[in-house]
Structure 1
Amino acid sequence: MSLVKSIYRKLNPPQLLTLGFLLIITLGALLLSMPQASAGGTRTPFLDALFTATSAACVTGLVVVDTGTHYSVFGQVVILTLMQVGGLGFMTMATMFALMFRKRISLKDRLVLQEAMNQHSLEGIISLIRKVLLYSLLIELAGALILAARWSAELPLGEAAYLGVFHSISMFTNAGFDIMGALHGPYSGMTRHVDDPVVNVVVMLLIFLGGVGFVVLAEIVDFQKRKKLSLHAKVVLSTTLLLFAVGTIVIFVFEFTNAKTTGQLSFSGRLLSAMFQSVSPRSGGANTLDISQMRQATQFFIVLLMFIGASPGSSGGGIKVTTFAILAAAVYTMMRGKQDVVLFRHRLQHERVYKALTMTLASLFVIILFTMLLSVTEPNASLLMILFEVTSAFGTCGLSMGLTTLLSEPGKVLIIIMMFIGRLGPLTLAYSLKRGNEKELFKYPEGKITIG
C-alpha cells in the first residue's frame, strides 16, 4: 500500500489519468474475456475483449462483436460499469466513495480532479463533483424511466426496465453502446425507432446533456439564481445549437431523396432522423439510419461533426466545440484585420488561441497518421471508410460505416490506441510524458516569415 501511495505522489495529474484509464481498461478486458461474460459461455478472444473494454471505458461505442447478442447479462453489466466510470471519470467515482465515507480529499486528489474536469482552478472543485454526481444520477434515472415506460408497451416490464437503464447510461455518458441486437438482430442499432418521437427525443436530450459539459450543466441548473451565464457556457451553448441546426439542415437535404435512408420516411420522419443524426456525431454514437447507406457527402459531413466533438469537461471527445469556436473567431478576426479575438464582447488571451490551434493541428496529425496506417492494414477498405472509422474513434463517437467488425488484428490495435488518445486528448497524453516544467531562461530574437 505504501508503494502505491509513493507512486501516486510522484506522478503528475495527466500521468495519473492515463495510468488510471489503462488500469480500468485492463481490468475490464480481463472480465469480458471470461466465459461467464459471453452469451455462449465461451471465452472471448482477449483482443476483442480489450477492444470492447477500451471502447466502453473511453465511451466510444465502436464494437467488433454485437453487444446485445454476444455478451451475457454479466458481460453487459461489466460494459455498463465501464461506461459509467469512463464517462464520469474514475477520479469522480473515487471522490464519490471518499465523500460517502467522509474521507479527506487531498490537494493531489483535487489537482487530478481539476485536470479530469478541465478546470482552470481548484476553487469549488469538490462542489462541482457533488453536482456532477447528483445531476448525472437524476438525468440517467429520468431517461431510464421514460425509455422503460416506452418499451414496456412492447416488452415485459423487467426487460423494458433493463433496456431503459442500459441505454440511458450509455447515451448520457455518450458511449453509444446499445443492446437492441438481442431484439432486432446483430448491429441493428436503433434503426427500428427511426421515426419514434419518444425514443428519439429522449436519446437526443441524453446525448446533449451528457456532451454539453458538467460545468455548463451546473450553470443551466443554477440559472434561476444567477440570472447569467459565463462566457464559456455562452460559447458552448451557442456553438452547439448552431452545429445542431446546420447539421440537421445538411443531413435532411443530402438524404431527402436517398431511398436507402430517409427516402421512404414521412416528412416528419425525415426531419426527426436528420435531427438525430446531427446530434449523434457530437460523440453520442447511436444511429437510427444505416450510416453505410448514406451518400458520401453526408458521410464526410458527419466526419467533420465527429472531429469537432462535444464540449470540454464532458465525457465526449473531439477537438471540442470551444476550440472550434475560438478558431472560427480567430479566422474572422484576421480577415477583418483586427488584433483581438472577441467572443460575446470578451477579449480572449492569445494563449487560448495558441492552445486551440495546437489542439486542432495535433488532432489532425494523429487522424492523418492513423488513417495512413489503417489504409495499410485494411487494404480492401475505401479511404473514406477508414477516415470515418478513425475519426469516430478519435471523437469517441462510435458511429461506423461497417469497417470495425471487419478489422484485422493490427487494425483493431490501431483503433484501440486511437480510442484511448481520443478519450484523454492528445495534449493530456503529451503532458503525461513531460518530466517537469522547464522555464525559459532567455528569448530568441524576433523573426519574420512571409505567409500567404
Structure 2
Amino acid sequence: MIRKIVERLHLDPPKILVLGFACIILLGTILLTLPSATVNGAGLPWLDALFTATSATCVTGLVVVDTGSTFTVFGQIVILSLIQIGGLGFMTFATFFALIMRKKISLRERLILQESLNQISIEGIVRLAKMILIFTALTELIGGILLSIRFAFDFPLGQAIYFGFFHAISNFNNAGFDLMGDFKSLTAYVEDPVVTLVVCALIVVGGIGFMVVSEVYDYRHTHRLSLHTKVVLATTALLILVGTMLIFALEYANPKTLQPLSMLGKVLGSLYQSVTARTAGSNTLSIGDMHQSSLFLIILLMFIGASPGSTGGGIKTTTFATLIGAVLAQIKGKEDVIFFRQRILPHIIYKSLTVTLIGLFIVIGITMALAITEPNAPFLMVLFEVTSAFATTGLSMGLTPELSHVGKFLIVLTMFAGRVGPLTIAFALAQRKQKEYIRFPKGKITIG
C-alpha cells in the first residue's frame, strides 16, 4: 500500500527520507500525548510531545521534561523505540522486515536505503543493512549486560537490567536520554570506570559509522582499510585525545566540576565529556557549571560531530578533516590535499565546504531567532543549545526546559534539519553532474 502511494507521488529518495522521519515523529508525538505515557496520567502537551518525539527520533537528547520522572514505562519504551528507529534509520528496519517476509528489495528501496545510510553506491547495501542490524543487536546486548551488572549494585535487579539496556541503547544511538531523574544524567558515576568506559565505547562505536565498523571487522581477511576508514579513525582518535586534554586543563581547578575529584575521576570526567560532545548528549559533569572556555570547546566538538553513516550528527569528521587538509595545503602552497598518500578530489572539498557553510547558516540563523524570542537568556547558552540541537548532541546548559513555545518549535526544526538535512544535502550533491555546454571566461578576485 505504502509502496503504491510512493510510486504514484513519484517521490525521490531524499523526499521519502524526510517524509519517513516526519511520519515517525508524528506517530511518536501522538503516543506521548496518551494518558498512559506519563506518570500523572494526563499525557504530554502537544508541543512538549512533539519536542520529545523529535529529539528521540533525531537521536538528539534535548528534553523539556525529565525522562525518568515524567514518563511511565510505556512512555519510556516509546522514546526508546523512536531512538532505535531514528538512530539506525527507518529503512534499515523496513529492510529487516522485508527480509523476514522473504520479499525482494526493489531498486527504489535500495536507493532509499542508500540515502538513509549515507552510502556512495547501492552495491552491497542490503548486506550492509543486515550487518548493521546484527552488529547493533550484539553491541547493545553486551553494553546492556555490562551496565546492568554495574547498576545492580545501586538498584533492584529488575530496575538495574532495565536501566542498563535503556542507557546502552540510548548511548549507542548517540541519543543521550537517561532515566536517572532530575536532569542529572550520569553525574553520579563521574568517577566510575565501568560506566564511563562502557558508555564511551558505545558512543564511539555508534558514532564512527557502520561502514567503518564493517571494514575494521573484515580487516582480518582483507588486510586493508579504505581511505575513508583511515580518515575517520584518525580524526576521531585525535578529537577525543585533544578534547580530553583541553577539558582536563581548563576544568582542573573548577570547584564545581573536576577539582573535587580524584586524579582518576578527573581523567574519566574529561574523557567522558570529550566523547559525549561528539553527539551523544549524556554527561558526567554538570555542563552548566563548566567554564566558558570549556563550553566553547564543546560547541566546536558538537558542530564537528560524528562520522558519516553513523547514528550521530554534526558536519561529520571527514568534512572537518577535509577542510583542515585544504587549509594546510593552501598554507604550504600545494595544489592537492593528501591523506595517507592519496589525493582528495576537488569536488569532495567543495561538498565539505557546502555542508559546513549550510550548517553554520542554520546555527547562526536559529541562534539569531532565539536571541529574539529568549531575550533574557545568555548568548553563550543560546548558541550552545542551538549547536547541540543541530548536531543532534543533546547536551544542555539548562535552557531547553525554559524555552518559550516559539523557542521550542525553533529547536524542533533545528533538530529535524540537523538529522535529515545533511543526509539529504549529501545525497543531492552526490547526484550525477550535468554536462556544462557553456563555459564562461576565467575571472580573478582578490582573497584576503
Paired residue for 2:241?
245
Flag the 1:168–1:2 CA change in 2: closer, same or farther, 3 A. Answer: closer
The CA distance in 1 between the partners of 2:232 and 2:313, in whole Å, is: 14
The CA distance in 1 between the partners of 2:235 and 2:58, in whole Å, is: 24
Whether 1:295 and 2:291 are equivalent positions in the alignment is: yes
The CA distance in 1 between the partners of 2:219 and 2:375, in whole Å, is: 53
Whether 1:283 and 2:279 are equivalent positions in the alignment is: yes
Q: CA deviation at 1:441?
A: 3.7
SS at match of 1:282: coil
Q: CA deviation at 1:225?
A: 1.1
- Flag structure 2 segments of 5+ consecutive residues without an equivalent: none
The CA distance in 1 between the partners of 2:423 and 2:17, in whole Å, is: 12
1:38-86: CA deviation from partner (whole Å, max 9, x where unpaired): 0111121000000000000000000000000001100000000000000
Alignment length (residue pairs): 447
**Correspondence 1:150-161 to 2 at 5 A:** 150-161=150-161
1:380-402: CA deviation from partner (whole Å, max 9, x where unpaired): 11110000000000110000000
1:332-361: CA deviation from partner (whole Å, max 9, x where unpaired): 111111111111000011000000001111
Q: CA deviation at 1:154?
A: 2.1
**Correspondence 1:4-403 to 2 at 5 A:** 4-7=4-7, 10-181=10-181, 186-403=182-399
The CA distance in 1 between the partners of 2:148 and 2:71, in whole Å, is: 21
403, 411, 414: which one pairs with 1:415?
411
Paired residue for 1:447?
443
Paired residue for 1:404?
400
Q: Is the 8 A contact 1:12 1:432 kept in 2?
A: no
1:307-330: CA deviation from partner (whole Å, max 9, x where unpaired): 000000001110000000000000
Paired residue for 1:428?
424
Q: Is the 8 A contact 2:337 2:343 kept in 1?
A: yes
1:363-383: CA deviation from partner (whole Å, max 9, x where unpaired): 111100000000001111111
SS at match of 1:342: strand
Q: CA deviation at 1:437?
A: 7.8
Q: Is the 8 A contact 1:421 1:429 kept in 2?
A: no
The CA distance in 2 between the partners of 1:197 and 1:430, in whole Å, is: 38
The CA distance in 1 between the partners of 2:428 and 2:45, in whole Å, is: 30
Flag the 1:2–1:292 CA change in 2: closer, same or farther, 3 A. Answer: closer
Tell me which moved more, 80-89 or 417-426: 417-426
The CA distance in 2 between the partners of 1:44 and 1:338, in whole Å, is: 57
Q: Is the 8 A contact 1:18 1:429 kept in 2?
A: no
- Flag structure 1 segments of 5+ consecutive residues without an equivalent: none
Q: Is the 8 A contact 2:280 2:393 kept in 1?
A: yes
The CA distance in 2 between the partners of 1:21 and 1:8, in whole Å, is: 20
SS at match of 2:108: helix
The CA distance in 2 between the partners of 1:194 and 1:111, in whole Å, is: 43
Q: CA deviation at 1:432?
A: 7.6
Q: What amino acid maps onto 1:150 in structure 2? A: R
Flag the 1:4–1:406 CA change in 2: closer, same or farther, 3 A. Answer: farther
Q: CA deviation at 1:440?
A: 3.8
The CA distance in 2 between the partners of 1:432 and 1:407, in whole Å, is: 34
Tell me which moved more, 435-444 or 156-165: 435-444
Q: What amino acid maps onto 1:207 in structure 2? A: I
The CA distance in 1 between the partners of 2:6 and 2:329, in whole Å, is: 49
The CA distance in 1 between the partners of 2:192 and 2:6, in whole Å, is: 54
1:176-205: CA deviation from partner (whole Å, max 9, x where unpaired): 100111xxxx10110100101100000000
1:198-228: CA deviation from partner (whole Å, max 9, x where unpaired): 0000000000000000000111111211112
Flag the 1:390–1:427 CA change in 2: closer, same or farther, 3 A. Answer: same
Flag the 1:23–1:437 CA change in 2: closer, same or farther, 3 A. Answer: farther
SS at match of 2:364: helix
After the TM superposition, list the runs of 4 or more consecutive aligned residues in structure 1 that deviate by more than 3 angstroms.
2-9, 429-433, 435-441
Q: Is the 8 A contact 2:355 2:425 kept in 1?
A: no
Q: CA deviation at 1:430?
A: 9.0
**TM-score between both structures, scaled by the size of structure 1:** 0.96
Q: CA deviation at 1:15?
A: 0.6
Q: Is the 8 A contact 1:18 1:432 kept in 2?
A: no
Q: Is the 8 A contact 1:56 1:86 kept in 2?
A: yes
Flag the 1:198–1:2 CA change in 2: closer, same or farther, 3 A. Answer: closer
Q: Is the 8 A contact 2:374 2:404 kept in 1?
A: yes
Percent identity of equivalent pairs: 55
Tell me which moved more, 219-228 or 255-264: 219-228
Flag the 1:294–1:173 CA change in 2: closer, same or farther, 3 A. Answer: same
The CA distance in 1 between the partners of 2:321 and 2:416, in whole Å, is: 25
SS at match of 1:347: strand
Q: Is the 8 A contact 2:307 2:317 kept in 1?
A: yes
Q: Is the 8 A contact 1:195 1:273 kept in 2?
A: yes
The CA distance in 2 between the partners of 1:6 and 1:161, in whole Å, is: 41
Q: What amino acid maps onto 2:98 in structure 1? A: A
SS at match of 2:191: coil
Flag the 1:260–1:8 CA change in 2: closer, same or farther, 3 A. Answer: farther
Q: CA deviation at 1:120?
A: 1.2
Flag the 1:200–1:6 CA change in 2: closer, same or farther, 3 A. Answer: closer
SS at match of 2:178: coil
